[in-house]
Structure 1
Amino acid sequence: MAEYKLQGLSCANCARELEEEINKLEHGDDAKILFNSSKLVLNDRIDRQRVDKILASDGAKIIDESLEEEPEGQHEHTHEKADRLKLMLALSVLLFAGAIFIDYQWNHLAAVFFFLFATVLSGHKTFVKGFKNLFKLKFNIDTLMTVALVGAFAIGDWREGTFVAILFGLNEYLEGLGMEKARRSMEALLKVAPKEATLYENGIERTVAIDSLKKGDLVIVKAGEKIPSDGVIAEGISSVNEAAITGESMPVEKFDGENVFGGSINNEGVLKVRILKPYKDSSLSKILHLVEEAQETKTPTEQFINRFAKYYTPIVMLISIFVMVFPPLFMSGNWGEWFYQGLAVLIVGCPCALILSSPIAIVSGITRNARNGILVKGGVFLEKLGKIDTIAFDKTGTLTKGAPFVEKVKVYDEELFFKIAGSVEKSSSHPIAQAVMEKLSENEWVYFKPERIQTVAGQGVIAHINGKEYRVGNEKSLMIDVPADIQIAINELKNEGFTLVIVSDEDHILGMFGLRDSLRDESREIISSLNDSGIQTVMLTGDHQLMAEKVAGQIGLTDYYGGLMPEEKVEKVKELTMNGRVAMIGDGINDAPALAMADLGIAMGKGTDSAIETADIVLMQDHLGKLPAAIKISKRVNRVIRWNIGMALGLKLIALLLTIPGLLTLWIAILSDMGATILVTLISLTVMIERKKY
């Protein structure tokens, strides 16, 4: 399959009809026109000449042979086209005003010339396409408008016919402007990808395209430059802006040996970065690809609208013929008056506002969330997020940081306990050892240098210091009889859910640390916010029930389940889905089965491959802070879509009902259609407007 950039797509409904025409060609059954991003996806074996001919019938064409870059000057060309259309509309309005003046004050025949000239300026492309479609018996908006205008001029309604043409031109311009704004917003998001990198090889720097970088290459990133792909810092210290990946604007301090994301910006100094992945496999590349795909996935609402639109226009055409023929034949109506009414009904048959009621809002919602570091993989998932009743949270790494900290300390030999613990743990990179060292950093201790250190799997560490053996680890590491009072203390800490680090020598227990996973700072606030918005929250964890109860109490959860195996989490999620729509939030690896079972899988992950691939939605900043905002944006998108559909159909229904008393005019028909399209576009674009508080 190959992708091509398109130019000249006039409307969403026209794009759908073009896609159906191309699907009828040999090898064209899997072709897709992506209206939101102006792209065409084709099988390599399809006859391109026939495709070009179909596109040309609607004034569209392929403008480049690959999508690696936007064609040179394409953005400027779009602006020039819009400016030209604005100028033509302005001239049409002036000619129309002049024609009315001439008609009243001077000569009707001269006025007709001005009316025709204004009509041609504002609608000549529509007429050309409409006449072509008429001969093919293809009835879309261009055909309907052409028939209506020719009919209006045939019965001498020059003023109304011209006004309809001008309003239709204005409608087309505003519709294109709205969709272009949504597209440009998405393209601005996609432009965060760097284009070039400075490769450092054999002491020589040279500029290369990022696509040429391989795993293991060393690149130099100067202050203000983008890191070309995922890698690890080989040399240098700097703060890095990771907003492109995580949505967080605050810079992150980076040191030697730390991982960095492609697309993030080096704020100061010079970094040497060892590339870990080619750009096409980087987190940023995957995110941008998924975001681009997401805007084209069809939601159930969009699929319904597209199916409805197929039948809507033919039905309105039949109503139009009925209005033209039935009253004159059976109710002694005037043929001229009811022919005019029928022409107005034709214009009401345009489904553009209905077709546009969803895609602009969906693109706006996905783009808005992506800017906030929330990766929504498709419109269908955006729609689901706004309808969630219950959110099930994993505990470790979701409600908690997944990083242990020392909460309790029991000391039995103050002189040796802290010194031995620090002497053994200072050289370890294990998270528990780092937590112990963080606690010890509260005081200044002088540590020993162990003669020998031995790690015992599943137990801890044996160290020889000053000729004596010491053990630092869990209960299994103890090789001595534990006094009853200390055993009671051990059991109490275990029952409270603590992980124990016990320090002992050959004869005595010197003391012990009680460690617990630290809560995320935002967890309590997030749970409260979700509950206030009517969403039920529940915690599912593999930790024992006492630990689950303690954490739930700290963050304000009333529903929690502890001691769950992965398969039991799946069953619990399945049980929850029987009572409503359920989202599951986990780390994207251990919770993959539960994420898959839920109506919506949301992964924590800060750009990890597993998180991006597993879930329907990814919280790229690796915390829950913006989850309520994402839900509110999704609910807002759903509200906008419902409002758009109701308004588009409502205005058209009102216009059609006006035919009963014979009050429908071309003016009212085009205003009902144009008004609906403009309002649908503008209301959808409001989704992208940032509000002060979420």
Structure 2
Amino acid sequence: MSEKAKTYRIEGLSCANCAKTFENNVKGLDGVVDAKVNFGAAKITVLGTTTVNELERAGAFENLKLRDEREQTVDQRPFWKARENVKVYLSALILIVSWLIGKKLGNESYIPTIGYALTILIGGHSLFISGLKNLARFQFDMNTLMTIAIIGAAIIGEWGEGATVVILFAISEALERYSMDQARNSIKSLMSLSPKEALIRRHNQEMVIPVDEIQIGDVMIVKPGEKLAMDGIVLRGTSTINQAAITGESLPVAKGIGDEVFAGTLNEEGLLEVKVTKLVDDTTLAKIIHLVEEAQGEKAPAQAFVDRFAQYYTPVIIIIAFLLAVVPPLFFSADWGRWIYQGLAVLVVGCPCALVVSTPVAIVTAIGNAAKHGVLIKGGIYLEEAAHIKSIAFDKTGTLTKGTPTVTDFIPLVKNQENLLEITAAIEDQSSHPLAFAFVKKVKEEGVSYKKIQVNNFQSITGFGVKGEVHGQLYYVGSPKLFEKISEIAIEVEQIIESLQNEGKTVMLLGSEKELLAIFAVSDEIRKTSQSLIRELNKLGINNIIMLTGDNRATAKAIGSVIGVSEVKAELLPEDKLTYIRQLRNNHGHVAMVGDGVNDAPALAAANIGIAMGGAGTDTALETADIALMSDDLSKLPYTIKLSRKTLKIIKQNITFSLVVKLVALLLAFPGWLTLWLAIFADMGATLIVTLNSLRLINRQ
């Protein structure tokens, strides 16, 4: 019997070190083969057999609670009412009372000492349990350092300072929990978007059932003002749908029969009947939530650096603290009590909390912010890489243009032209190319019948066109480049082709092996946002912007000049685009490729970052792209680059600030000026400042 992986959500997970400790504890449980904690998403995946109670016992050191992954919402208490904070209030009250009694009775009384001891026990009992266990295993994490420092303070008679350290540390932990909850709020809000049940018509009966029981093919009835529970296709009715949660679009989108709709979106006006096309775990919203949570667990290069640094940093701090405590008394006849105290203060200030949290909170917050704006970033590495982009290559069709070309010209080249449209339509109907769709659509609009024409031996000629036999005659439909290989093109025909191409149109020819029969011109409308996009990217310092297309040079240059790209590469086959992207990487270092996520997959994969357009409803885009723009809105690209740069800037600020604060505090220890309360205040203050600095990304526009 194979082991099954089970995923749980974790409540109360606030620090990266705690996540690692919890993961190790779970791995040590009987029946558990492996376990992996996603700190950013606050989830754990367990391979093996165990129970929630056993998992919660493994997380008892931090009072962690677990629930099933499907339980997306729980009753949230206000921060100040949280059970974990009760011990903070009680121990803080005892500390204040003890301090006041000490002021009144003087240092001779034992009552304040008893009060300080109670403060330490109440406020720090979970800290001590974890710290002592780690100390027994020679694992020197934050809890271990704090435990040694507080017990050491009590041994040398500094009960008041030990109690103060416990309170400040407890406050710090409570605020960290609150901050991480705020950082994860964007995903929590996504989880609450989709209803948990829906009105379904099945076998001519209407019933309200949980989304888990809805099947593909069921008809979902959605009234005005209701949210859609499932993805589907509109069978009946028209309405406007607010898709902001999925695509980031600010304006509602009109939907009618045959249009695709998504779970979590809001039906604003009309009654809709929707045929369900995906199960609850496969909806676009479910995929977004899953991918964003996975992305929040992926480490950015900056975070990997911090983790490696922390491995060496903590042992060095312990060595410095030990030397500071013993060298002055042993070699310079200094006071043992004073320098042991300084060593303990170094242990406290040396806790790497601020440093460890400096990166993940920023990454979690930024990726969550992007998801709210309709941008799916699939990991910290891609978020960070977007800040370094030097060149961007755009696919033309469907990216810089709308991707819905229309036939504008039909020029027959022979006298007998009765069957030319029917033959062309019959052959093109076998193709999946956008230009083929355009031609078939045009023929249908004109009422030309072609379905009865049989096409034999159809074949697609990659990058050039198609061919097929009709009534025993072999015909070709494709670019002028295709016919250059078959027969010579007359000068007067070349002039017509060149004239159409200079107008920015794409030219297709119909012909046999013997002669050309007709010229067709197709035009693809440029997106309204394309020109403003290029200007915005130029303002961001990205001036090397290239348009890649399989279209002819004249058409490509005409479109490229209107849009304002710096370079146009035309008449490219898919392998040519791949080769060019590799050249760009060699020449410029950091290259992004923007496409529709379906075509040009090799080029998207070869770039430092592959960015797919229109990820909503497109499984290929969600699965293959590093970044997916959920709508077809190119303005999200500058936003993504600005968010990435801001995130990287904040991470650098956090790391620098954390190290500077530690260094200053350590320097204060050598002349003997560092106190325990100052040490914990520096550590707590640095942690809170870097966390709050990261939370600035929550509302980044």
TM range, smaller chain: 0.7 to 0.9
Q: Does residue 31 in structure 1 map to residue 35 in structure 2?
A: yes
1:165: how far off? 1.8
Which one is further off, 254-263 or 104-113? Answer: 104-113
What residue is the counterpart of 1:465 in the other structure?
A: none
Match of 1:585 among 588, 594, 619: 594
Q: How does 1:269-288 map to 2 (within 5 A)?
A: 269-288=270-289
1:283: how far off? 2.1
Structure 2 residue matching 1:687: 3-state secondary structure: coil
What residue is the counterpart of 2:537 in the other structure?
A: 530
Q: Does residue 641 in structure 1 map to residue 641 in structure 2?
A: no
Structure 2 residue matching 1:384: 3-state secondary structure: helix
Which one is further off, 627-636 or 142-151? Answer: 142-151
Q: Does residue 133 in structure 1 map to residue 141 in structure 2?
A: no
Following TM superposition, the consecutive aligned residue runs of length 4 or more in structure 1 with deviations greater than 6 angstroms are: 46-50, 406-412, 434-438, 449-460, 472-476, 482-487
Once the two structures are superposed, residues 442-477 of structure 1 have per-residue CA deviations (whole angstroms, 9 ceiling, x without a partner) of xxxxx9x879986697799x9xxxxxxxxx99999x
1:302: how far off? 1.8
What residue is the counterpart of 2:682 in the other structure?
A: 672
Once the two structures are superposed, residues 278-309 of structure 1 have per-residue CA deviations (whole angstroms, 9 ceiling, x without a partner) of 23223222222111211111222222222322
What residue is the counterpart of 2:606 in the other structure?
A: 597
Structure 1 Cα separation of the partners of residues 233 and 69 of structure 2 = 30
1:491: how far off? 4.7
| Aligned 8 A contact 2:407 2:439 in 1 | no
Q: How does 1:337-352 map to 2 (within 5 A)?
A: 337-352=338-353
Partner amino acid, structure 2, of 1:539 = M
| Aligned 8 A contact 1:14 1:140 in 2 | no
Structure 2 Cα separation of the partners of residues 82 and 313 of structure 1 = 34
What residue is the counterpart of 1:101 in the other structure?
A: 100
Partner amino acid, structure 2, of 1:634 = S
Which one is further off, 612-621 or 37-46? Answer: 37-46
What residue is the counterpart of 1:574 in the other structure?
A: 582
Structure 1 residue matching 2:388: 3-state secondary structure: coil
Note the residue ranges of structure 2 that are not aligned, 5 or more in a row. Answer: 414-420, 456-465, 471-476, 483-488, 511-517
Which one is further off, 324-333 or 254-263? Answer: 254-263
Structure 1 residue matching 2:528: 3-state secondary structure: coil
Q: Does residue 560 in structure 1 map to residue 568 in structure 2?
A: yes
Once the two structures are superposed, residues 465-521 of structure 1 have per-residue CA deviations (whole angstroms, 9 ceiling, x without a partner) of xxxxxxx99999xxxxx9997884455214655246999xxxxxxx99853211111
| Aligned 8 A contact 1:6 1:39 in 2 | yes
Which one is further off, 143-152 or 84-93? Answer: 84-93
Which one is further off, 197-206 or 564-573? Answer: 197-206
Once the two structures are superposed, residues 557-612 of structure 1 have per-residue CA deviations (whole angstroms, 9 ceiling, x without a partner) of 12221111110111100011112111111111221000111111111124211111
Structure 2 Cα separation of the partners of residues 67 and 16 of structure 1 = 20
1:369: how far off? 0.7
Match of 1:493 among 495, 500, 515: 500
Relative to the length of structure 2, the TM-score reads 0.84
What residue is the counterpart of 1:479 in the other structure?
A: none
| Aligned 8 A contact 2:595 2:604 in 1 | yes
Structure 1 Cα separation of the partners of residues 642 and 347 of structure 2 = 39
| Aligned 8 A contact 1:179 1:360 in 2 | yes
| Aligned 8 A contact 2:226 2:267 in 1 | yes
| Aligned 8 A contact 1:501 1:512 in 2 | yes
How many matched pairs?
650
1:115: how far off? 3.0
What residue is the counterpart of 2:522 in the other structure?
A: 515
Which one is further off, 106-115 or 309-318? Answer: 106-115
Structure 2 Cα separation of the partners of residues 82 and 146 of structure 1 = 27
Alpha-carbon spacing, 1:501–1:132, altered in 2? closer, same or farther (3 Å) = closer
Which one is further off, 606-615 or 630-639? Answer: 606-615
Q: How does 1:361-510 map to 2 (within 5 A)?
A: 361-405=362-406, 432=438, 488-494=495-501, 496-499=503-506
Structure 2 residue matching 1:206: 3-state secondary structure: strand
| Aligned 8 A contact 1:544 1:562 in 2 | yes
Structure 2 Cα separation of the partners of residues 343 and 292 of structure 1 = 39
What residue is the counterpart of 2:62 in the other structure?
A: 59
Alpha-carbon spacing, 1:83–1:217, altered in 2? closer, same or farther (3 Å) = closer
Alpha-carbon spacing, 1:491–1:210, altered in 2? closer, same or farther (3 Å) = same
Alpha-carbon spacing, 1:537–1:334, altered in 2? closer, same or farther (3 Å) = same
Structure 1 Cα separation of the partners of residues 89 and 31 of structure 2 = 44
Alpha-carbon spacing, 1:111–1:242, altered in 2? closer, same or farther (3 Å) = same
1:642: how far off? 1.2
Alpha-carbon spacing, 1:647–1:529, altered in 2? closer, same or farther (3 Å) = same
What residue is the counterpart of 1:249 in the other structure?
A: 250
Which one is further off, 212-221 or 511-520? Answer: 511-520
Alpha-carbon spacing, 1:116–1:543, altered in 2? closer, same or farther (3 Å) = same
Structure 2 Cα separation of the partners of residues 176 and 371 of structure 1 = 22
Structure 1 Cα separation of the partners of residues 283 and 683 of structure 2 = 45
Note the residue ranges of structure 1 that are not aligned, 5 or more in a row. Answer: 413-419, 441-446, 463-471, 477-481, 504-510
Q: How does 1:284-323 map to 2 (within 5 A)?
A: 284-323=285-324
Cα RMSD for the two superposed structures = 3.7
Partner amino acid, structure 1, of 2:6 = A
Structure 2 Cα separation of the partners of residues 622 and 301 of structure 1 = 31
Match of 1:661 among 667, 671, 682: 671
Alpha-carbon spacing, 1:614–1:138, altered in 2? closer, same or farther (3 Å) = closer
Once the two structures are superposed, residues 415-461 of structure 1 have per-residue CA deviations (whole angstroms, 9 ceiling, x without a partner) of xxxxx99xx99xx99753698699x9xxxxxx9x879986697799x
Task: Give me the identity figure in percent.
Answer: 41
Alpha-carbon spacing, 1:494–1:70, altered in 2? closer, same or farther (3 Å) = closer
1:221: how far off? 1.2
Structure 2 residue matching 1:198: 3-state secondary structure: strand
Structure 1 Cα separation of the partners of residues 452 and 508 of structure 2 = 16
1:155: how far off? 2.1
| Aligned 8 A contact 2:393 2:592 in 1 | yes
Structure 2 Cα separation of the partners of residues 8 and 370 of structure 1 = 23
Alpha-carbon spacing, 1:246–1:312, altered in 2? closer, same or farther (3 Å) = same
Alpha-carbon spacing, 1:667–1:294, altered in 2? closer, same or farther (3 Å) = same
Structure 2 Cα separation of the partners of residues 313 and 451 of structure 1 = 78
Once the two structures are superposed, residues 310-332 of structure 1 have per-residue CA deviations (whole angstroms, 9 ceiling, x without a partner) of 33222211211111111111122
Structure 2 Cα separation of the partners of residues 29 and 639 of structure 1 = 40
| Aligned 8 A contact 2:479 2:507 in 1 | yes
Alpha-carbon spacing, 1:502–1:560, altered in 2? closer, same or farther (3 Å) = closer
Match of 1:546 among 554, 568, 578: 554
